[in-house]
């Protein structure tokens, strides 16, 4: 196995380099250069160029790795290591100038995420973790919240931009949570939602219709911060299953119970 701590340092540098490119491009960004991949699924040349930067650098750091990325760079040759990358998580925020978007880079070894880096560009906040080494924000150790119940909690979520067949169930969950917790927040970046859970800024996060690159880096950061990651059925298919539930250990079952009252797969 490679030296993950050494790989981490290089990966953080790559994330920040891509972030610097994204930050600079935002200054004079032209809305006319936005493309639409699908219903409400937006992409720009900035996403694509940032991905090229990231992939070219990571290929040097770990030549023996495959790739899964949002904007199409993919190689699945059965290698033990796989980079899972979202070059710009929060593209819609970026396009509209809402300052919450991030570079997200996860590394999977066989069937397990072993490294994650999420760089929030606007606040210059770099969250990262390596399996068994704890989770950090800009060099400082982070931990999930110690809140003991949903009634003490702030919950983050995301709104679907497709898959609207489940929207009624989702809205029922929101209504129930609004009556039982401190509040519900929608930031617009799943990677950042996970990091906010990891750092105790929110107690829980749930969302459906997600992709592996939305989740991979943030997942290990949550777990190394002492939190819990599952799918909506408290199973382990949060990476490829499409739905994600992250929280501190105290409220996980209570939050899942609220979802399961109405949710049907």
**Residue numbers belonging to the annotated binding site:** 70, 86, 88-89, 214
Please list, residue by residue across 38-69, b when 16 or more beta carbons sit within 10 angstroms of its beta carbon and e when fewer do. Answer: eeeebbbebbbbbbbbbbebbeebbeebbbbb
Q: Tell me the C-alpha distance between 83 and 244, whole Å.
A: 20
Q: Which residue has the tokens 């929030």?
A: 120
DSSP letter string, 134-168: -EEETTEEE------SGGG-EEEE---SS-GGGHH
* Sign of the dihedral through C-alpha 242, 129, 108, 191: positive
* 11 CA to centre of own chain: 16
Known binding residues for Mg(2+) are 70, 86, 88-89, 214
Q: How is residue 29 annotated by DSSP?
A: -
Helices (H), the chain: 4-26, 45-61, 91-96, 167-178, 190-198, 212-224, 252-260
228 is written with which tokens?
């819990």
Q: Tell me the C-alpha distance between 17 and 259, whole Å.
A: 39
Listed in sequence order, the residues at least 6 apart from 197 whose beta carbon sits closer than 8 Å to its beta carbon are 144, 145, 156, 203, 204, 205, 222, 225, 227, 246, 247, 248
């Amino acid at each position: 196995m490679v030296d993950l701590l050494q790989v981490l340092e290089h990966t953080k540098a790559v994330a920040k380099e891509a972030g610097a490119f994204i930050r600079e491009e935002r200054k004079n960004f032209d809305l006319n250069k936005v493309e639409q991949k699908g219903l409400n699924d937006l992409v720009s040349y900035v996403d694509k160029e940032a991905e090229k930067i990231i992939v070219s650098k990571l290929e040097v750091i770990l030549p023996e790795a495959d790739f899964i990325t949002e904007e199409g760079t993919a190689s699945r040759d059965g290698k033990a290591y796989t980079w899972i990358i979202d070059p710009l998580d929060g593209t819609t925020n970026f396009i509209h100038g809402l300052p919450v978007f991030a570079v997200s880079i996860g590394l999977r070894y066989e069937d397990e995420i072993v490294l994650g880096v999420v760089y929030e560009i606007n606040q210059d906040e770099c969250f990262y973790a390596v399996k068994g080494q704890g989770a950090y924000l800009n060099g400082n150790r982070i931990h999930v919240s110690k809140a003991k119940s949903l009634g003490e909690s702030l919950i983050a979520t995301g709104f679907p931009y497709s898959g609207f067949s489940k929207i009624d169930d989702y809205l029922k969950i929101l209504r129930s949570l609004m009556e039982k917790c401190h509040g519900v927040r929608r930031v617009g970046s799943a990677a950042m939602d996970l990091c906010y859970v990891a750092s105790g800024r929110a107690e829980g996060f749930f969302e459906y219709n997600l992709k592996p690159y939305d989740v991979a880096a943030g997942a290990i950061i949550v777990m190394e911060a002492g939190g819990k990651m599952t799918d909506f059925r408290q199973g382990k298919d949060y990476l490829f299953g499409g739905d994600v539930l992250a929280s501190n250990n105290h409220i996980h079952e209570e939050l899942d119970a609220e979802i399961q009252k109405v949710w049907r797969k």
